[in-house]
Structure 1
Amino acid sequence: MSNPSQVRNAFHQFEVGFEIIADLITPGTRVLDLGCGSGSLLEILRDKKDVEGCGVELDQEKVIRCVERGIRVMSLDLDQGLVGFPDLSYEYVVLSRTLQQLTNPERVVREMLRVGSKSIIAFPNYGHWRVGLVHLISGRTPTSHTYPDPWYNSPDIHRITINDFKDFVRTIGGRIEKEIYIKNNVRCSNLFLPNMRADWGCFQISTK
């Protein structure tokens, strides 16, 4: 069972993450939000940035919430790819809090780079020094503010570090344009040793 304080902290980090993503997006552009949940980010972007947004979400209850908010949404399994979306049909494709839950993250990110001029990806950092220390001392899979659920009851199937992601982007031929970190619920554009100190990473990437 998740620690309530960890869950509250995680939700606050989500809100900070939404603010970071919103700041990266140019007003009046087209945005595709993958794994959009109940449409919170797209609602912010619509109301504050006048974007033309579309969400992709598999959970039907969340799809209904999107519709209630007036958010355009499609019910798709991201692991099946984005075949129905033309090349460069969006200025931005966003994947927030979802990368670590995908069965085939490489396929999805390659598709993001095909469909969008720029891709924004935010994920919790499993390389944080506290996570490593807990694992070293206890010998068990740690829980944390960013990973509040125990391994047997978690939607996260990949535990990703900042360094893992940077290597991954290079491997698929992508280019990191911007990188922002969240540490103790505060955004940091320049953070010393981010792989050890950041709770979350948010990257804007494109093709080379």
Structure 2
Amino acid sequence: MVVSTVLFGLNVGVSAICVSAILMLISPSRHSKIVDDISWPAVVLVCGMVTYMAVLTQNGTLEMLGDAASRLGSPLLTALILCFAVGLISAFGSSMATLGIALPLAAPLLDAGELGAFGLVVALAFSATVVDVSPFSANGAIVIANADVADRTRFQRKMLGYCAITVAAAPLLAWLLLVVPFSA
């Protein structure tokens, strides 16, 4: 796998799948327990969310939201909306991917000089990562898949309720504590 990625420039994920398939073909009975222990719903969910984030990025939805927010006129209001958008999007996808998209969107706000860079970047990072408990995010799906609970559906509903509270409250809290005090 390392040779294929380094020498031939192949994608690491594709190389890993190919190596796994070869190992399964060579000795299927030896690896059957491993395949049975894979939480396939979590795998499908994570792949779907990664695809969803790629579609949002590719079709320009996130860029359009950033442009619309920057035209509001108030940098503080724009920062608040961006914190909420980052929290909501990250609840359904990857927090790192969301941050990779959100930070360039925040650049025009930071260039204007009315908001503190430290406060806005930390608020965005907090808003994106605190919602990783969502059952629809990569981390949340892994938690649900590996949870040893009697009623998995009830556990998932509780996590979803907690995530809704977190998505509603965390961006506002981050904005109040990190963006407002550091703005000009």
TM-score (norm 2): 0.30
**Greater RCO, 1 or 2 (C-alpha within 8 Å, sep 6+):** 2
Considering fraction of residues, name the structure with more strand: 1
TM-score (norm 1): 0.27
* Rg (Cα) greater in structure: 2
Considering fraction of residues, name the structure with more helix: 2
